[in-house]
C-alpha cells in the first residue's frame, strides 16, 4: 500500500520555470564564424574547382529537368482544357442537331398523315375507297405453274412439257 503514495511516476520537473535574467545580465554569445580554410596545395585547389564545377553542372541539369517536367505538365493541362472546350462545343452542336431532327420529324409527320393522303387522293386524283362488292378473290386449283424458256412448264407437282 505504501507504493501508491509515491510520486515517482510523475515528472514534475517539466513545470519548473527557468529563472528570468534581465537583458543586461545576459551574455551575448553569437557563434563566431570561422574563416574558410583554403586548400594548401595546387592539387587541392584544382580538385575543389572541379567539384564546384560538377555541382554547378548537376544543379543546372536538375533545374533543367524540373523546368521541362513543369512545362510538360503545364502543356498537358492546357491541351486538356482546349480539348474539353472542343468537346463542349461538339456536345452543343449535337444537341442542336438532335433538336432540329426532332422538329423536322414532327413536321414530316404532320404533313404526311393518313388523313391528308386520303383527302389528297379523293380531291386531287379523283380516287375513292373500295367497297366490299368490288373485292374479288381468285383461287388456283391446279397449283402453281411456271413456263421456262425452251417450252418446259414447271409446276409444284413436277415437270411437264408444254405443247
Chain centroid to Cα 41, Å, comes to 64
Q: Is the pLDDT of residue 72 over 50?
A: yes
> CA-CA distance, 122 to 134, in Å (whole number)?
18
Domain count, the chain: 1
In a domain, 20, yes or no: no
In a domain, 110, yes or no: yes
Predicted local distance difference test score (pLDDT) of residue 155: 66
Q: Counting runs of H as helices and runs of E as strands, what totals does the chain give?
A: 2, 3
Chain centroid to Cα 25, Å, comes to 70
In a domain, 133, yes or no: no
The answer to whether 140 and 156 are in contact (CB under 8 A) is no
In a domain, 106, yes or no: yes
Higher pLDDT, 157 or 106: 106
Predicted local distance difference test score (pLDDT) of residue 133: 87
Higher pLDDT, 162 or 145: 145
Per DSSP, the three-state class of 23 is coil
Please state the φ and ψ torsions of residue 131, each to the nearest 5 degrees. -105, 165
- Does this model's pTM top 0.85? My answer is no
The single residue listed with the C-alpha cell 535574467 is 21
Higher pLDDT, 76 or 16: 76
Mean pLDDT (the chain, rounded): 82
In a domain, 145, yes or no: no
Q: Print the domain residue range for 113.
A: 42-127
Q: Is the pLDDT of residue 93 over 60?
A: yes
> CA-CA distance, 68 to 129, in Å (whole number)?
82
In a domain, 31, yes or no: no
In a domain, 158, yes or no: no
In a domain, 118, yes or no: yes
Q: In the sheet that 152-155 helps form, which strands lie side by side, from edge to edge? A: 145-148, 152-155, 159-161
Q: Is 129 exposed, middle or buried (0-12, 13-18, 19+ CB in 10 A)?
A: exposed
Q: Is the pLDDT of residue 91 over 80?
A: yes
The single residue listed with the C-alpha cell 580554410 is 37
Amino acid at each position: 500500500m505504501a507504493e501508491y503514495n509515491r510520486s515517482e511516476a510523475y515528472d514534475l520537473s517539466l513545470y519548473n520555470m527557468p529563472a528570468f535574467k534581465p537583458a543586461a545580465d545576459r551574455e551575448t554569445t553569437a557563434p563566431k564564424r570561422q574563416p574558410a580554410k583554403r586548400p594548401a596545395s595546387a592539387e587541392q585547389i584544382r580538385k575543389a574547382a572541379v567539384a564546384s564545377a560538377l555541382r554547378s553542372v548537376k544543379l543546372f541539369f536538375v533545374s533543367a529537368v524540373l523546368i521541362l517536367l513543369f512545362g510538360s505538365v503545364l502543356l498537358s493541362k492546357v491541351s486538356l482544357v482546349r480539348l474539353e472546350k472542343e468537346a463542349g462545343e461538339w456536345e452543343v452542336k449535337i444537341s442542336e442537331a438532335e433538336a432540329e431532327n426532332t422538329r423536322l420529324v414532327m413536321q414530316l409527320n404532320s404533313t404526311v398523315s393518313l388523313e391528308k393522303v386520303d383527302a389528297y387522293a379523293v380531291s386531287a386524283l379523283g380516287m375513292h375507297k373500295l367497297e366490299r362488292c368490288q373485292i374479288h378473290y381468285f383461287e388456283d386449283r391446279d397449283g402453281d405453274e411456271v413456263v421456262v424458256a425452251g417450252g418446259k412448264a414447271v409446276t409444284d407437282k413436277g415437270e411437264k412439257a408444254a405443247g
